[in-house]
A = this chain, B = another copy of it.
Amino acid sequence: MSATLHAALGPVDAAPADVAIVVDCIRATTTLSHALAAGYGEVVCVGEVDDAHAERRDGVVLGGERHGVRIEGFDLGNSPAEYAEPRGDVLVLTTTNGTRAILQSAAESGTVLVGALVNAQALVDRALAALPADGTLVVRCAGVRGAIALDDVYVAGLLLARASERLGDAFATDAARVATAVARAYPDPLAALADSQSARDLDGTGLEPDVARCAALDTLVVAPIVTASAPGRVVVTA
């Protein structure tokens, strides 16, 4: 028996897994990783803006975006630069693609990790420690507005290539092979991310430096994990 490696390239692909890693590289899962690395005790991911407002209390910070910009009444947006220091114990996060993908994986998978390039190796290490010998590891790409996102597929390929190297005899699905081929095709992470729609969406917003922040490979050691899950609400901790 050997493990299976798979990538859910598009946001609509069902992909139950023993271990799932959810990736929305530009920017939600990069931002979430920064928040936990900086010292927030937990990140509560919710699907809707109203759900976030309902979590408001002392010590709770509301963060996230719709159409790429900070939501009215929220404390913070979706830039990793805003999460260098904690402003409370709990961050409540809702974004267009990323937090919804986390909710989806939490509903269909066993262990659910969350991250991107900034904590790639930490994610691989924790994922493989949790993976049964004949288990399935899926990287779920959050995508962008319902479509496949190049940045997420690139990260999936990088993570799965590292996992494959460590496992030796794992079986890779065609979707996993597509992702690892994409990772091979780009000379470096920034080149891949810069080529994506998510990067172009930041053009002219003043948030262009976020692309390089999201491309900063292996700069955080945190591997965020879903520790509690209910419909529409999951808790992620370090």
Contact = CB atoms under 8 A, between A and B. Distances in A.
Interface in A163-203: 173-175, 177-178, 181-182, 184-186, 195-197
A186 to B, nearest CB: 7
A186 B173 CA distance: 17
B185 A173 contact: no
A9 B177 CA distance: 13
A50 interface: no
Contacts of A181: 150, 181-182, 185-186
A60 B9 CA distance: 41
Contact of A185 (B9, B150, B184): B184
Contact of A148 (B9, B12, B197): B9
Nearest to A153: B178
A13 interface: yes
A159 interface: no
A149 B12 CA distance: 16
A86 interface: no
Interface string A1-39: 000000001101100000000000000000000000000
Given A148-B9, A150-B178, A153-B178, A197 B173 contact: yes
Contact of A178 (B144, B174, B177, B178): B178
A178 B173 contact: no
A84 interface: no
Interface string A122-162: 00000000000000000000001001111001000000000
Most chain B CB atoms below 10 A, which of A149, A178, A186, A196: A178
A178 B147 contact: no
Contact of A182 (B12, B147, B185, B195): B185
A184 B196 CA distance: 17
Contacts of A147: 173-175
Contacts of A173: 147, 197
A196 B175 CA distance: 10
